[in-house]
């Protein structure tokens, strides 16, 4: 089963398999299946053509994949253009939502340090 160019895994439960599409998470996948009247535990390969089409019709009404990615990137670009705080954080590739940076996000900052021990030398026991 393919939805907007993405192959839904055949052997996973539909509730999980639909999350392979960018823009569909677990809650939205459950909402889609409720609207279509399909059980969450069904597997994609067991669906009939009618059920696949109903899922496609429901998903067509929302922005997913390429459209959603473009929308998100344009939002970030707008923040950068107006020089908002969040925009500058995105430009510097730092956390934009108030997370601490002293101990976390070391790899994104490019400041990879080795973890140090207590500073004491280990003494061998005899």
- What is the pLDDT at residue 20? 92
- What is the pLDDT at residue 30? 94
How would residue 63 be classed by pLDDT, with cut points 50, 70 and 90?
confident
Pairwise pLDDT comparison (98 vs 4), residue with the higher score: 98
Would the CA dihedral through 68, 22, 31, 97 be positive or negative?
negative
Statement: residue 12 has pLDDT above 80? yes
- What is the pLDDT at residue 76? 95
Structurally, how many domains does the chain consist of?
2
Of the chain, the percentage scoring pLDDT greater than 70 comes to 91
- What is the pLDDT at residue 72? 94
Statement: residue 85 has pLDDT above 90? yes
For residues 69 and 73, give the distance between their C-alpha atoms in angstroms, rounded to a whole number. Answer: 6
Residues 86 and 67 in one domain: yes
The pLDDT tens digits of the residues spanning 95-126 come to 889 888 888 887 777 776 676 766 677 777 76
Residues 48 and 75 in one domain: no
Q: Output the six-digit token pair for 47.
A: 């669906």
Residues 69 and 50 in one domain: no
Could you list the residue range(s) of the whole structural domain that residue 91 is in? 63-97
Longest alpha-carbon distance in the chain? 76
- What is the pLDDT at residue 27? 95
Q: Evaluate whether residue 107 is within a structural domain.
A: no
Statement: residue 4 has pLDDT above 70? yes
Q: Evaluate whether residue 114 is within a structural domain.
A: no
For residues 12 and 39, give the distance between their C-alpha atoms in angstroms, rounded to a whole number. Answer: 13
Instruction: Name the average pLDDT for the chain.
Output: 87
């Amino acid at each position: 089963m393919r939805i907007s160019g993405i192959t839904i895994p055949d052997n996973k439960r539909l509730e999980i398999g639909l999350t392979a599409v960018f823009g569909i998470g677990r809650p939205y996948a459950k909402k889609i299946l409720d609207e279509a009247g399909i059980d969450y535990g069904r597997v994609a390969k067991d669906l009939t053509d009618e059920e696949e089409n109903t899922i496609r019709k429901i998903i067509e009404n929302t922005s997913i994949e390429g459209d959603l990615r473009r929308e998100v990137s344009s939002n970030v670009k707008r923040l950068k253009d107006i020089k908002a705080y969040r925009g500058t954080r995105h430009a510097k590739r730092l956390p934009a939502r108030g997370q601490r940076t002293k101990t976390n996000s070391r790899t994104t900052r490019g400041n990879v340090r080795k973890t140090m021990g207590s500073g004491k030398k280990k003494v061998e026991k005899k």
